[in-house]
Structure 1
Amino acid sequence: MIIDTHQHFWKYDSVKHNWIDDNMKRIRRDFLPEDLQPVLKRNGVEGCIAVQADQTEAENDFLLKLSEENDFIKGITGWVDFKANNIEERLNYYSGFDKIKGFRHIVQGEADPNFLLQKEFCDGISKLENYGFIYEILVFPHQLGAVLEFVRKFPKQNFIIDHIAKPYIKDGFIDGWKILMTEIAKYENVFCKFSGIITEADYKSWTYEQLKPYLDITLECFGPKRLMFGSDWPVCLVAGEYSEVKKIAKKAIQGCSEEEQQAFWIGNARKIYKL
């Protein structure tokens, strides 16, 4: 049994989704539960975690409505403004929804490489632990120095790094990313998703051999008890099919024990998302 810990839904809007550039034309359309459910079924996936793609609370409402209508959506990673004066009130509100498991901010889009360390943002993050919410970290490698300081600040808060921190696979850069990921992984409250990997390589010419060093390092750093499978559907479609993404993950963990593989595919997701 498998839980896909990372996928998105949207009703395509050229302004709201302007990050979908000309190289990603395949995903310039609506992607809704009726599109994903047959894909999950074909791939033996029991359910998924829907992750925000828009930084508004309206996105939370959108995903909550979809989850009410579709049982296979097991949880939601939403968005709140952690710098807002009413952050405690908003977290208290969302604690009333069982499907809301945590939040993230699209930090990769922030110009300040130390955005995560801004006092107002950290003040908001400090409230999460009281509600049992997780925080998902979406960054590029050049922001990992801030991530290291950030996770040190909150030793009791559960974090998940999305997309193995988006290493520069296409350019073949690995050393700086490796050093910082190794340090970050020393904190046992930090988990990581095997997700969003093929889209960091060349969309048309990536190979498993090209991805393998990054997968191996992540597995070595975090171990199978702190890694989870995520497809990053539908974004993954610009570089490959859902089945290919699953096959990459399966190949990467083939040396793990049966118990460790079960943790990777479903056990860790159940634990961290409290499914």
Structure 2
Amino acid sequence: MSDAQTLVDAHHHVWNLDIRPQPWLDQPGHEPLRRNFSSYALRSAATRPIAGRRLTSTVLVQCVTSVPETRDLLALAESDPLIGAVVGWADLTSPAIGDVLDDLRTGSASRYLRAVRHIVQGESDPHWLQRPEVERGLRAVAERGLGYDVLIRSHQFPQAIRLAERLPELSLVLDHAGKPPLVTRELADWAQQVRTLARHPQVRCKVSGLVTEADHEKWTVDDIRPVWDVLLSAFGPDRLMFGSDWPVCVLAGGWNRWAAAVDELLGDCSGTEIHAVLAGTATDFYHLTPAPTKEGTPCS
């Protein structure tokens, strides 16, 4: 398959509630997500092309703070040719973090572990990423050549910026563009923080999760465009990557509606820029390679 046909979804989830509960789904408004979602279901949902490209590869991202979940995601990646990389979880505060990461990187499925993530948006400590034990854990991540997905809300940008300053050797990607306040449209502070973070060359950004920060029912491309314009000017296309945040995006129209919006946002971009956003940046950050033949069938 040529580069011009490649489309990478750099951020999606799966879960089976019969095997592993997802407590965050108990929050009001998440009722449509309280069922099982598999990679097979993603294939069925993601049918709309973007810039003429159809989905060819994905990055599967953790949902809960669970090493067993990470092991399950790695096993799924080994069996499913759609999944090219996994963003897992490990306790960054643990003195044994290095051993845990080394253990996760052992075995045939371990090659799919390309980054880790912690749900910092749920931490009340405004300096959580600067805790000595967390920095020690993140240095262990960097030493093993793994990246780190930064999941924060817009008010938590200062600690993400400080992280980029203190650990320049750690490759970072900002999930969901730092969750801009699209409902209120008060974007000035968010935009300033994004530009500050983007000054650090080791940081990339996912164009994902935006529709669930907007009005779920009424959002339009024009609502998203001011955020897109800031991201494009701050990071440039070579440091942006498309992500669906499926199935969470089901709350605001689903994979295909978001894909149509991204297609429109890319309308003024060159072919080279489109390739960067839709495939190149994610391929570089997550070290995606053509998938080897995988035995078995995708889990459902």
Shorter-chain TM range is over 0.9
Deviation, structure 1 residue 24: 2.3
State whether structure 2 residue 29 is matched by structure 1 residue 23: yes
Deviation, structure 1 residue 39: 2.8
Deviation, structure 1 residue 15: 5.6
1-side partners of 2:111 and 2:47: how far apart? 24
What is the TM-score of this pair, normalised by structure 1?
Answer: 0.96
2-side partners of 1:35 and 1:182: how far apart? 36
Q: Which has the higher contact order (CA 8 A, sep 6+)?
A: 2
Deviation, structure 1 residue 269: 1.2
- For the residue of structure 2 that corresponds to 1:271, the secondary structure is helix
Moved more, 150-159 or 36-45: 36-45
1:265 corresponds in structure 2 to: 278
1:100 corresponds in structure 2 to: 113
What is the TM-score of this pair, normalised by structure 2?
Answer: 0.88
1-side partners of 2:13 and 2:199: how far apart? 29
Moved more, 187-196 or 120-129: 120-129
Moved more, 4-13 or 102-111: 4-13
- For the residue of structure 2 that corresponds to 1:62, the secondary structure is helix
Matches within 5 A, 1:1-275: 1-12=6-17, 16-40=22-46, 43=49, 44-96=54-106, 97-275=110-288
Q: 1:15 to 1:94 in 2, by over 3 A?
A: closer
Amino-acid identity (%): 31
- For the residue of structure 1 that corresponds to 2:267, the secondary structure is coil
The count of aligned residue pairs is 275
After superposing on structure 2, the runs of 4+ consecutive aligned residues of structure 1 that deviate more than 4 Å are: none
The unaligned stretches of length 5 or more in structure 2 are 1-5, 289-300
Q: CA RMSD in A?
A: 1.5
Deviation, structure 1 residue 42: 5.1
1-side partners of 2:276 and 2:237: how far apart? 7
2-side partners of 1:20 and 1:236: how far apart? 17
Deviation, structure 1 residue 193: 0.3
Deviation, structure 1 residue 108: 0.3
2-side partners of 1:127 and 1:241: how far apart? 36
* Contact 1:95–1:131 (8 Å) recurs in 2: no
* Contact 2:148–2:173 (8 Å) recurs in 1: yes
2-side partners of 1:82 and 1:29: how far apart? 30
Q: 1:110 to 1:212 in 2, by over 3 A?
A: same
Deviation, structure 1 residue 244: 1.3
1:91-112: per-residue Cα shift (whole Å, max 9, x none)?
2222331000110000000111
* Contact 2:71–2:104 (8 Å) recurs in 1: no
1:187-235: per-residue Cα shift (whole Å, max 9, x none)?
1100000000000011111121111111110111000000000000000
Structure 1 letter corresponding to 2:121: Q
2-side partners of 1:70 and 1:116: how far apart? 33
* Contact 1:160–1:190 (8 Å) recurs in 2: yes
2-side partners of 1:246 and 1:45: how far apart? 10
